[in-house]
Structure 1
Amino acid sequence: MSSSILNPRTTHREFFGVPGALTVTTIVPIVSYALYFGCSERTGGCPPPHAYSWDAVKEAVVASVSDVNWWKGLWDNEAATLYFGWYAFCVVAWAVLPGDWVEGTQLRNGKRLQYKINALSTFLLALGIVAGLIYRDGPQAFTFIYEKWIGLLTASIVMSFIQATYVYIASFRNDNVLLALAGNSGNPIYDWFIGRELNPSIGWFDIKTFNELRPGLILWVLIDISMVCEQAVRRGGIHNVTDSMWLVLAFQAWYVADGLYNEPALNTTMDVTTDGFGFMLSIGDLAWVPFTYSLQARYLAFHPIELGIWGIAGVIGTNLLGYYIFRTANGDKNNFRNGHNPKNLKSMDTKRGTKLLISGWWGICQHPNYLGDLIMALAWCLPTGFNTPITYFYPIYFLVLLVHRQMRDDEACEQKYGEDWKKYKKLVPYKIFPYIY
């Protein structure tokens, strides 16, 4: 098959093309830093006092960015060493820990890639090492993430740029490289951002799926643990850590562990089957996930909150509802895709020879897993109370992300199924929120 047939030129550009790619590339690091400086005891609160005056905000920002020492303060040699060491640990763990090799979905070139499944083992090994460190030296031994937050964030952003640039250059190595259908526009800025190669790898090491589940996702939990340790040191010991902090750690650690346990399901997601690996995914996996999703734990480290029995019950109930919807919906989808239908769910035949679920959770809305995810996202923020809107950034951002992803999925399915997709949408009209959207 010729290169032009296998890798047709991209004609439709997402994110409004190059301007959108440049905007996201600029905005994501800025927001990541802003969430720290806008919600930190070092700047006076969450938000800091001057945040209530636009003129004061502008004055503070101008004073900071015009100061060379402020820019130098974003980089920390020790923090960078720690971050790159962490990434190296994850790579070594992938290589040496045992794990099954599973096949991915069939690609356009007819091939199926092999993926090593041992993310959960890496997670457990990391937790074991951290637990041993804390047990031996006390919680103060693991507060360095709180102390070196900015340096670690900067290192993760640098790593994201390095990886995006490497895989973009490597995608030109020969004509047999399988490109992402959305990443072959010919514009270097856009293709670098969206991801030119579909499955960049170094030998058996698949860069995209590795980044999706290991360095950032596991680091998210380690950050939460560091925030627990920070609060414990301030309050006189682990036994004085607040119920709100324990809930945030439990919810987010369970979410990550669940994702790692179900690692093979990643191979059917849009990120793996459709999207290339570029700066959009690299900074999302390596910087955005661990350093913005842990905002609630970082806030509670310097602003402890006790919920009480009824508060705990309400938050747990909300999280369990979201988790139940998320997990059962994904379970039904994965079973159906693998030829199993234990619940006898109804489906609709398509001209492509495939079927679309139209009952159960998938008959209530087109993306019930997104609905469950959003309810869980809200539950993770509720332990922070209602003194600041900043700790609720995650579900707000997540809603925008999932709506955008739903729109991309709708467009892709319309191209894939044609008239059958229009029939499907009449049977299942609601996208994420039943009777609302």
Structure 2
Amino acid sequence: MSSSAVSKTSSEVNPRTTHYEFLGPPGAFAISFGVPFMTYALYFGCSEHTGGCPPPLDTALILDSLSSLEWWKGLWDTQATLLYLGWYAFIVAAWAVLPGDWVEGVTLRTGGKKKYKINAFSTFLLTAGITAGIIYRYGPQPLTFIYEKWVGLTTAAILMSIVQGLGCYLASFREGAILALGGNSGNPIYDFYIGRELNPSIGSFDLKTFNELRPGLILWVLIDVGLACEQAVRRGGSITDSMWLVLAFQGWYVVDALYNEPAIFTTMDITTDGFGFMLAVGDLAWVPFVYSLQARYLVFNQVELGPVNTALVIAVNLAGYYIFRSSNGEKNDFRNGRNPKNLQFMQTERGTKLLTSGWWGRSRHPNYMGDLLMAFAWSLPTGFNTPITYFYVIYFAVLLIHRERRDDEACEKKYGKDWKKYKTLVPWRIVPYVY
């Protein structure tokens, strides 16, 4: 084959990105610094070690801290870094050793399909079993290091994200790499952030799908358990009903995601986005250390809800879960050629069908509505003394609105005039009669 033919084939498989997201390179640069900054800010802005949630505003003290080399050195903890690296190595080993089915993902632009190993749920069960054994044998004290070494563990996770993002960016220049359609702009700052290669892998080990479910999500639950242990030590062995709710809600959410692992292979993160710093820092640092904010708050602000308030919070969470799971069930049935509810749909010129009744007739993303209700229920156990513990709900709403807009834009390109017709049949984006 001639070099011109090779060049032509390469450009067809990996076309240049012509459309920026996140306001292009300046936005990518700002978010790359902003996410680690916010991760630390949510700790220092809501911590008993800094004086509360939020602590008293002392501009001079903040400026003195930021200008102090000792303060910056305090972000590093060698022992915490080794613990985090040990955790990551354990999760990789579990992926390799534990049995699991191999399933095919969607068809790639080259016509082939990647195979993924399904054993995230069994990895969680192994982790949960070891954790339960430690608590049963030694009590809650051994897991309180998670609370004590919070900053060092956060730093280790952020550094791991940077290493993976940079490594994947550099590795994407090898011959034969399939690049993400949105990550081949030629601008190194933007491509590093958004992800240049679609599926960076080491042999059969796919880094993106691995990080999507295992090291961050399972660590999130482990952190929650560690924070509950810290509260238990302080209270002489018991934990509050509010802490139980946070453990149950967030733990169930993670278990549900891990048990339904094959569902991620059709999500935008896997099929469309490259793996760069954006996904790495989100999976490894943001999810476990930001999403556990409510549990960390409850360590030093112990809230007892009582039976009535507990029941109300549970009702909100169950309503969200029902909408989330029921709507996703309708979609998955329909995609697999089943329609047990006899839902209405419209036929498109592409030959595909779009649901126009059931949950998907109420809004174009009813599963997002369920997600938001669950997120709200996770924050309710903290009470209403501070808005900081509701950060996740606000952030998640912004994230889902942005994701919905991206999806709408992609579907408009995919379906053309059929998408405009569909939007007249299903006018609401997420929440019926609201948005």
TM-score by length of 2: 0.97
Return the offset for 1:106: 1.1
* Residues 1:38 and 2:45 aligned together: yes
Return the offset for 1:424: 0.7
Return the offset for 1:186: 0.6
SS in 2 for 1:343: coil
Counterpart-to-counterpart distance in 1, 2:333 and 2:123: 26
1:76 is aligned to 77
Return the offset for 1:111: 1.1
* Residues 1:267 and 2:274 aligned together: no
Return the offset for 1:341: 1.6
Return the offset for 1:364: 0.2
Counterpart-to-counterpart distance in 2, 1:184 and 1:170: 13
1:151 is aligned to 152
List gaps (5 residues or longer) in structure 2: 1-7
Counterpart-to-counterpart distance in 2, 1:80 and 1:308: 39
SS in 2 for 1:101: strand
Return the offset for 1:414: 0.6
List, as ranges, runs of 4+ consecutive aligned residues in structure 1 with deviation greater than 3 Å.
none
Return the offset for 1:353: 1.0
1:310 is aligned to 308
2:235 is aligned to 235
2:12 is aligned to 5
* Residues 1:216 and 2:216 aligned together: yes
SS in 2 for 1:115: strand
Counterpart-to-counterpart distance in 2, 1:63 and 1:330: 50
1:367 is aligned to 365
1:173 is aligned to 174
Deviations 1:320-367 (A, max 9, x none): 000000011111111111222211111111111111111100000000
Counterpart-to-counterpart distance in 1, 2:331 and 2:195: 27
Return the offset for 1:61: 2.1
2:317 is aligned to 319
Counterpart-to-counterpart distance in 1, 2:252 and 2:51: 32
Alignment map for 1:365-404 (pairs within 5 Å): 365-404=363-402
Which shifted more, 228-237 or 100-109?
A: 100-109
SS in 1 for 2:331: helix
Which shifted more, 396-405 or 344-353?
A: 344-353
1:16 is aligned to 23
2:425 is aligned to 427
2:287 is aligned to 289
Q: Match for 1:224: what amino acid?
A: D
2:33 to 26, 36, 40: 26
Q: Match for 1:3: what amino acid?
A: S
Counterpart-to-counterpart distance in 2, 1:78 and 1:340: 52
Deviations 1:263-283 (A, max 9, x none): 000001000001000000000
Counterpart-to-counterpart distance in 2, 1:178 and 1:347: 35
Counterpart-to-counterpart distance in 1, 2:425 and 2:282: 34
SS in 1 for 2:338: coil
Q: Match for 1:269: what amino acid?
A: T
Deviations 1:237-278 (A, max 9, x none): 1xx210000000000000000000000000010000010000
List gaps (5 residues or longer) in structure 1: 51-55
Counterpart-to-counterpart distance in 2, 1:5 and 1:346: 38
Q: Match for 1:26: what amino acid?
A: F
2:3 is aligned to none
Return the offset for 1:60: 2.5
* Residues 1:129 and 2:130 aligned together: yes
Counterpart-to-counterpart distance in 1, 2:209 and 2:188: 23
Alignment map for 1:191-206 (pairs within 5 Å): 191-206=191-206
Return the offset for 1:420: 0.8
Percent identity over the alignment is: 70
SS in 2 for 1:105: strand
TM-score by length of 1: 0.97
* Residues 1:280 and 2:297 aligned together: no
1:354 is aligned to 352
Return the offset for 1:62: 0.9
Counterpart-to-counterpart distance in 2, 1:360 and 1:84: 46
Counterpart-to-counterpart distance in 2, 1:113 and 1:353: 25
Which shifted more, 199-208 or 335-344?
A: 335-344
Counterpart-to-counterpart distance in 1, 2:149 and 2:354: 48
